[in-house]
Amino acid sequence: MSSNRDIKVLLFGLSTVEAIPLYHAYPGGVALRILVKPTKSIECLEDFSFEICEWIKGPQLFPDITIPSSILVRLTTAWKPSMIMIDGLEPLESLNLSIIRDTIKDKFIATRAHGYTDIPVGIDYVLVEDISRLVGLDYIRRNIIKLAEKLLERRVGFEIQVYAINPYLEELGELIEVAEIREIPIHIQVENPRGGGPVIRLYEELSKKLKYVYIHTRIYDALDTQCPNCKTILLYRSEGILRGINISNSKCPKCGYTIRLEGSAKPKTKPTIVRLTRGRTVWYNPLMYVK
């Protein structure tokens, strides 16, 4: 019999914060991830390699598990995460945030958002994801832009992630303008890098106008955080891992420019987490933790 303190989840995950990817919230930290069932039936247009295409296939494909929320206390005690990341397609639609917040008080809580629902009070940070090119629905991008503006008004920290099929500027849309005007960190996930040259040119073009831009592909990545003022490298990364920092009190040591960060940065990702996750996410069946 379930109680009003139970939650429904698909999987628990342990990862670095960078693996989410969030690069400006607790760099070098650990994330406890809660993957929940999608409530909408949409699909990616093709068999893309992005993990999110697995998450959004439809509610009927994902049997969820009802567990007591007290398991979250056990996991946060054991894993000592810097943040709780609520994962999936609009995950707050199917997860009771108030139970999470009441169960693990004072924890930094982040989530994904895709423009379908509003972000309630109690969320500290958001990964705003544009999946419009993947699913062929242009209205999603318009909704994402509106959501970004709301988060700015409410002073909720966020990063933008855009999924592109090809490394072409025209696929990225108006979110580039949002990132440029408001100095929002933006991640570009590219399915077909086209041999590398187009991806490098895309990064170089974006770097001329954006303060913080990161490129993720199978063959080329641009993951380091540079000072927007003097281009000094401040946070060194490989995919999913923080390798080192060159920053003090969120400022560039060379020119003193203040870097957009939420929370403190670790000197680097802990070796134990690197060995366990290899910069990815280790997913666990919640039934492992039910007595």
Residue 12 has pLDDT above 90, yes or no: yes
Residue of 159, 40, 141 lying closest to 93 (CA atoms): 40
User: Can you tell me the mean pLDDT for 17-31?
Assistant: 97
- The pLDDT tens digits for 237-250 are 999 999 999 998 89
- The pLDDT tens digits for 159-185 are 999 999 999 998 898 889 989 988 999
Residue of 275, 252, 256 lying closest to 265 (CA atoms): 252
Residue of 93, 86, 71 lying closest to 20 (CA atoms): 86
Residue 131 has pLDDT above 50, yes or no: yes
Residue 6 has pLDDT above 80, yes or no: yes
- Residue pair 215/222 in contact by the 8 Å Cβ criterion: yes
User: Can you tell me the mean pLDDT for 23-45?
Assistant: 93
When pLDDT is cut at 50, 70 and 90, the band that residue 95 belongs to is confident
- Residue pair 113/90 in contact by the 8 Å Cβ criterion: yes
- Amino acid identity at 1: M
Structure tokens at 117: 């629902």
Residue of 70, 92, 93 lying closest to 3 (CA atoms): 70
Q: Which bin fits 45, alpha (ψ -120 to 50), beta or left (φ > 0)? A: alpha
Question: So what's the pLDDT on residue 2?
Answer: 52
Question: So what's the pLDDT on residue 291?
Answer: 66
HEC per residue, 198-239: HHHHHHHHHHCCCCCEEEECCCCEECCEECCCCCCEEEEEEC
Question: So what's the pLDDT on residue 40?
Answer: 82
- The pLDDT tens digits for 58-84 are 887 888 889 999 999 999 999 999 999
Structure tokens at 262: 């939420």
Tell me the C-alpha distance between 86 and 36, whole Å: 8
User: Can you tell me the mean pLDDT for 38-50?
Assistant: 89
Domains (ranges, CATH) in the chain?
A: 6-223+263-289 (3.20.20)
* pLDDT > 90 fraction of the chain, expressed in percent and rounded: 73
Residues 6+ apart with CB under 8 A from 68: 3, 5, 6, 7, 290
The full DSSP string for 71-124 is HHHHHHHHH--SEEEEESSSGGGSS-HHHHHHHSTT-EEEEEE-SSSPPPTT--
Tell me the C-alpha distance between 109 and 17, whole Å: 12
Residue of 168, 131, 135 lying closest to 147 (CA atoms): 131
Question: So what's the pLDDT on residue 134?
Answer: 95
Question: So what's the pLDDT on residue 1?
Answer: 45
Mean pLDDT, rounded, of the chain: 92
